[in-house]
Amino acid sequence: MRHGKYPFVIGFLFVPVTLYVVFVIAPYAQAFQISMTNWRGLSAPQWVGFDNYRRLLDDGNFWKAIQHHGVLLLALPLITIAIALFFAFLLNVGGRSSGGQRQGVWGSKFYRVVFFFPQVLAVAIIAVLFQMVYRPNESGLINGVLMKLGLDPVLFLIKPNLALWSILAVLVWQAVGFYVVLFSAGMASIPTEIYEAAEMDGATRVTLFFRVTLPLLWDTLQVAWVYLGIAAFDAFAIVAVLSVDSGGPDGATTVLAMEIYRNAFVYSKYGYASAMGVALFFLTITFAALTLRLSKRESVEY
Amino acid sequence: MNPQSTLPPTPAALPQSGARNGAGRRGKGRRSEVGLFAGLGHVALAVWAVIVIVPILWTFLASFKNTTEIFSSPWTLPGELRWENYARAWTKANVGRYFLNSVIVVGLGTFGTMLFGSMAAYVLARYRFWGNRVIYYLFVSGLAFPVFLALVPLFFVVKNLGLLNTHTGLVLVYIAYSLPFTIFFLAAFFKTLPSSVAEAGMIDGCGHTRLFFQVMMPMAKPGLISLTIFNVIGQWAQYQLPLVLLSNAKDKWVLTQGIADISVNAGYEADWSGLFAALTIAILPMIIVYAIFQRQIQSGLTSGAVK
């Protein structure tokens, strides 16, 4: 193995490491630096210390964005995981059992295929799709029906207190199938003897779910929560395309990524946008660390 | 755990003939509990299936309608199949161009990601040398950073290299940002491959490079396929990077960007049926690809989460 090892190793690593350092590492490092300047792109950047961060604290849109992340962070994982767990349970062990062999309900395979499909579509495309679905007049999918029934149209994206929830619904719509498949994989690896034993002791389906499936699936649930949380910190594509005025109405759906994009590429406030980027980074890291720490518990060996 | 982590094949879900025997032994109350639960469950599943299918189906139907029909009868079948909507979307709205751009960028991006990613992962997984761990963790740490943190400096890096508004720039950026996960996943995969085959190859006078391309790559095929699917779908869905890096070159835009632009800038005079046709052009290929590779796609995409 010795002969000519180093030329080979260097030859194989050179291109990927160079690409990675130039396009990933260098920008990340620079972001922290730029966030301490008042750079607007034209003149040389001036060092302003923590000024940008102080201004963040007084920025109404920044706090609105943080608040929206808070809502998404709680609601998106909670709703998605609840629905996905319910479906995954039905699809894997919800049907009748034959000789102790648990089975899913009839048509499980079909449902799994259909539910997963939105995952394959780009979020930007889904956002355009739901713009049509939510349209406030008779050409919208939902309001077209409501108005035919003589009801008033629901202004999904225009009403400030409804807009964020309308967007959240789309995120759930896309995510559920992925987690159904993920949880199904977890459930399939739970030995059937455990279900058999529980059944013999007279456990109902609800008991089975809460006492057997849920504890044995804990690790997968934790991964799901972290994934959905990270998704809640992004949400750029959906907000940029689906919401009114990219984050509107009047900032009612804005998220940090949207504010970063706007400050950097519309207002050319590069220093300020970078400070927001750094804030977003620390929020994401804190969330991931906290989740992994708080949800830590003895995993059940089986 | 095995990093290959492909999902187990879906357990046959249809009730078999043996099911009856098992149920026959049960008490009456028990069976009604099962019946009620399965019944409610069925309704819930069917409702969700409708929620997933209807918006897409509705888009397909609307893509053949004209504006009057879209507004007056959103729920009926189109009066006739107006293929001209598609022709308009494809040429006048540039969807054809965007589609082709996406194919080029994602094709090159995924190819580069898989080539360089597997090269780096292989070396990092199977060769001991000074700096190995440092480089590995440098790559893996990239998983923890949100792309938005780097967006401003990245824009200027690409600009200073003269690659702004070029496909080359976008492809290189796609590759760079896909490397952390690709290397993380493939390094674990290469580690599990038996070293006896590699040693045998070495004894036969096979060089390091040939060993990699002719022995190790074929052995790693399942992992490579999963990751290729993961990267294709991820890069195809990209929106923010092209938005920033291609903003001033409309003829270079990718599909997500182009369709979002048509939709966002659609005013009162908008060509609604054209937009529905454009949307269908974006969705339909994904349905076809998904229908064919459904199992591989499911395992490829979830492979990231199943550690």
pLDDT of residue B1: 35
B85 with B127, same domain: the answer is: no
pLDDT at residue A63 is higher than 60: yes
| Residue matched to tokens 């040429």 | B91
pLDDT of residue B24: 39
B182 with B130, same domain: the answer is: yes
pLDDT of residue B304: 62
B129 with B211, same domain: the answer is: yes
pLDDT at residue A219 is higher than 80: yes
> Is residue A6 a part of any domain in this protein?
no
CB proximity under 8 Å: B 90-109 to A: none
Tokens at residue A5, please? Answer: 């090892």
pLDDT of residue A95: 61
CATH code assigned at B219 = 1.10.3720.10
pLDDT bucket at A71, cuts 50 / 70 / 90: very high
> Is residue B118 a part of any domain in this protein?
yes
Which of A117, A171, A217, A291 is the mutation pick for testing B, counting most B CBs within 10 A? A117
> Is residue B66 a part of any domain in this protein?
yes
> Is residue A8 a part of any domain in this protein?
no
Contact by Cβ (8 Å): A45, A271: yes
pLDDT at residue B14 is higher than 60: no
Report the residue count for chain B: 307
B145 with B224, same domain: the answer is: yes
How many Å from the N-terminal Cα to the C-terminal Cα in chain A? Answer: 41
pLDDT at residue B195 is higher than 90: no
A105 touches chain B (CB under 8 A): yes
Of B41, B54, B179, the CB nearest to A105: B41
- Count of the separate structural domains present in chain B: 2
B277 with B225, same domain: the answer is: no
Within 13 Å and on the Cβ side, how many CA atoms surround A200? 9
Strand partners, A98: A101
Contact by Cβ (8 Å): B8, A185: yes
pLDDT of residue B167: 93
Q: Is the dihedral of CA B223, B226, B232, B234 positive or negative?
A: negative
pLDDT of residue B30: 53
Could you tell me which chain A residue has the CA closest to the CA of B275? Answer: A128
> Is residue B18 a part of any domain in this protein?
no
> Is residue A35 a part of any domain in this protein?
no
pLDDT at residue B20 is higher than 50: no
pLDDT bucket at B147, cuts 50 / 70 / 90: confident
A289 touches chain B (CB under 8 A): no
Q: Is the dihedral of CA B181, B185, B188, B191 positive or negative?
A: negative
pLDDT tens column, A112-130: 889 989 988 999 999 989 9
Structural domain including B173 reads 107-254
Of A8, A28, A188, the CB nearest to B11: A188
Classify B131 in phi/psi space as left (phi over 0), alpha (psi -120 to 50) or beta.
left
pLDDT of residue A1: 47
B163 with B218, same domain: the answer is: yes
> Is residue A95 a part of any domain in this protein?
yes
B21 touches chain A (CB under 8 A): yes
A292 touches chain B (CB under 8 A): no
Structural domain including A226 reads 42-294
B206 touches chain A (CB under 8 A): no
> Is residue B52 a part of any domain in this protein?
yes
pLDDT bucket at B16, cuts 50 / 70 / 90: very low
B270 with B247, same domain: the answer is: no
- Min Cα–Cα distance to chain B from A133, Å: 7
B125 with B156, same domain: the answer is: yes
Mean pLDDT of all residues in B166-170: 93
Report the residue count for chain A: 302
Q: What is the mean pLDDT of chain B?
A: 81
B76 with B139, same domain: the answer is: no
> Is residue B292 a part of any domain in this protein?
yes
Mean pLDDT of all residues in A191-203: 80
B68 with B117, same domain: the answer is: no
> Is residue A11 a part of any domain in this protein?
no
> Is residue A36 a part of any domain in this protein?
no
- Counting residues of chain B whose pLDDT is more than 70, the rounded percentage is 84
B247 with B297, same domain: the answer is: no
> Is residue A29 a part of any domain in this protein?
no
CATH code assigned at A221 = 1.10.3720.10
- Count of the separate structural domains present in chain A: 1
ipTM of predicted assembly, 2 dp: 0.86
CA distances in angstroms from A162 to A79, A252, A253, B52, B231, listed in the order given? 17, 9, 9, 21, 35
- pTM of the complete model: 0.85
Gap between the Cα atoms of A128 and B285, Å rounded: 17
Q: What is the mean pLDDT of chain A?
A: 84
Q: Do A121 and B286 lie within an 8 Å CB cutoff?
A: yes
pLDDT at residue B6 is higher than 50: no
Mean pLDDT of all residues in A157-166: 88
pLDDT tens column, B123-138: 999 888 888 899 999 9
> Is residue B100 a part of any domain in this protein?
no
Strand partners, A97: A102
Which of A8, A22, A23, A205 is the mutation pick for testing B, counting most B CBs within 10 A? A23
B223 with B116, same domain: the answer is: yes
| Residue matched to tokens 């409501």 | A146
- Counting residues of chain A whose pLDDT is more than 90, the rounded percentage is 21
Contacts of B43 (CB under 8 A, 6+ apart): none
pLDDT tens column, B24-62: 344 445 556 566 766 788 889 999 999 999 999 988 888
Which of B14, B45, B231 is the mutation pick for testing A, counting most A CBs within 10 A? B45
> Is residue A167 a part of any domain in this protein?
yes
Which 8-state DSSP code applies to residue B241? H
